[in-house]
Amino acid sequence: MTGQRARFRRAVPDDADTLWSLYLCGDRDELAWRLAGADMERSTVYHVVELDREVAAVFALTELGRLRPGSPRRVLLHEIKLKPSFRGRNVPEDVFTWLAQTIGAGGETDLIVLAPPVENPPLMADRGMVKAYHAFKWPASAEGVPS
């Protein structure tokens, strides 16, 4: 855990500029619109990690539901975008601890973590995570028409 206690909260429209500065892509207005969504339960929800009264990181979760009756619930963690000034302060570890405590990640919930293909962070192995899926991406085209 970090020296100070990390605070987790759902992102709100006022966070749009800060989140956009971490993602550095996309449209700020669209991000603010997404953050203002009233019914985000069946969609992607952004969360903010605050440390020292400052946004340290952001991450997004998407509820995937159950593959079949009786199987564990599945949640997708898109990525953890960490503000450079907070590197080395165990923020990703705090995120995984929070996920275990709040959504039951690693317990009653399967957490699927998207990570860049070249990375195999030790944090994943330390938590008992294993590579489980081989994913392919069919990128969106600029014209909006499949290639």
Q: Tens digit of pLDDT for each residue in 29-52?
A: 777 777 776 454 557 889 999 999
3-state secondary structure of 87: coil
pLDDT band at 131 (very low <50, low <70, confident <90, very high): confident
Strand order in the sheet with 7-10: 7-10, 44-51, 54-66, 73-82, 109-113
d(CA 53, CA 124): 27
Instruction: Give the domains, in start order, of the chain with CATH numbers.
Output: 7-126 (3.40.630.30)
| H-state helical runs in 6-143 | 16-23, 28-35, 91-103, 122-126
Q: Where are the beta strands (DSSP E) in 5-130?
A: 7-10, 44-51, 54-66, 73-82, 109-113
> Is the pLDDT score of 134 beyond 50?
yes
More confident residue, 96 or 2: 96
pLDDT at 1: 44
pLDDT at 50: 96
pLDDT at 99: 95
3-state secondary structure of 117: coil
Task: Calculate what percentage of the chain has a pLDDT beyond 90.
Answer: 36
Helices then strands (H, E): number in the chain?
4, 5
The mean of the pLDDT values for the chain is 82
pLDDT at 37: 67
pLDDT in tens, 65-78: 888 888 899 999 98
Other C-beta atoms within 10 Å of 95: how many? Answer: 22
- Contacting residues for 86 by C-beta, under 8 A, at least 6 apart: 51, 56, 57
> Is the pLDDT score of 25 beyond 80?
no
pLDDT at 132: 76
Tell me the pTM.
0.79
